Amino acid sequence: MAASKIQIQAPQVDLTEALLWQHDIATYLPQLVQLKNDWYQAHHVAFWQQWVIDTFDIRTCNQFGLVVWSIILNIPLAISQPPSRQGKPTFGFGVLNQNFGRGNFSTVAPTVIVLTIDQQRDLLLLRYNQLTGKCSIPWINRMLNRIIGDYGKIYALDPLDMSSITYVLDYNPSAGLAFVLAQCDVLPRPSGVPIKIVLKPRIPFGFGIYNKNFKSANFSNPFLVS
């Protein structure tokens, strides 16, 4: 979560502190209070400790906790996708545009894509930091390294003219991470300043060091400068 300090949850309670010196000579009252205190330690404390893990902390919460945080942060965990090319024919076979694996290349109606648990967690953490953090480049780079730095090197660049903030992914991200970054506006940026996402160039498809195809020509020239 954000780099700022989070209040430490302390659910422990000691009911025996309610006993006064007048109760020292009581026969049964201290025993009853001690039994009650033992029950609280075994059930009350354990409940709140598990609640922090399952609901309060985005880094560890379960599916229920992720749904709660999606409501708090006002960001959905399922993304509606319109048809890929409205008004244009979709490549495929038959009325359902089926491909060779019997899946669909595209749909003729909007679809809803439900994110995986890892995608949901990354999305919520980025959203949380977007709302609570600041947009300085050092802070953004520390935040990115903390949340999604395990996937690979990622950093932000500022051209110092308020034209945009460029996020550079020095690796080929997974489809899930690429989908979240492309579809959801969760990367921190100053108000009114757009963002650009630059991905590491993919290796051209081909054979050998020159990416030769079947006719011995090149699919791509990795040294071409445009």
The residue type found at 28 is: Y
Residues 20-48, mean pLDDT to the nearest whole number:
77
| Per-residue pLDDT at 3 | 42
Q: Examine the pLDDT at 82 and tell me if it is beyond 50.
A: yes
Most confident of 2-11, 15-24, 69-78, 104-113: 69-78
pLDDT of 17? 74
Residue 81 predicted with pLDDT over 60: yes
Top pLDDT among 182 and 168 is at 168
pLDDT value at position 173? Answer: 82
Whole-number pLDDT of residue 126: 92
Predicted pLDDT at 33 = 80
% of the chain residues with pLDDT over 90 = 16
Report the mean per-residue pLDDT for the chain: 77
pLDDT of residue 217: 64
C-alpha to C-alpha distance for 53 and 117, rounded to whole angstroms: 15
With a threshold of 0.85, does the pTM exceed it? Answer: no
Q: What is the mean pLDDT of residues 56-76?
A: 92
The pLDDT, as a whole number, for residue 96 is: 62
Q: How confident is the model at residue 109 (pLDDT cuts 50, 70, 90)?
A: low
pLDDT at 223: 43
pLDDT tens for each residue of 204-221 = 667 776 677 766 666 555
DSSP state letters, the chain: --SS--PPP-----GGGG--GGGGG-SSHHHHHHHHHHHIIIIIHHHHHHHIIIII-TTT--HHHHHHHHHHTT--SEEEE--TTTTSPPPSBTTTTB-TTS-BS--SS-EEEEPPHHHHHHHHHHHHHHHHS---HHHHHHHHHHHHGGGS-EEEE--SSSS-EEEEESS---HHHHHHHHH---S---TT--EEEEEPPPPPSSBTTTTB-TTS-BS--TT---
Poorest-confidence range of 2-16, 28-42, 141-155, 167-181? 2-16
Give the pLDDT band of residue 38 (cuts 50, 70, 90): confident
pLDDT at 142: 92
Dig out the tokens for 206 from the structure.
């081909």
- pLDDT value at 48 more than 80: yes
Structure-block tokens of residue 50: 């598990």
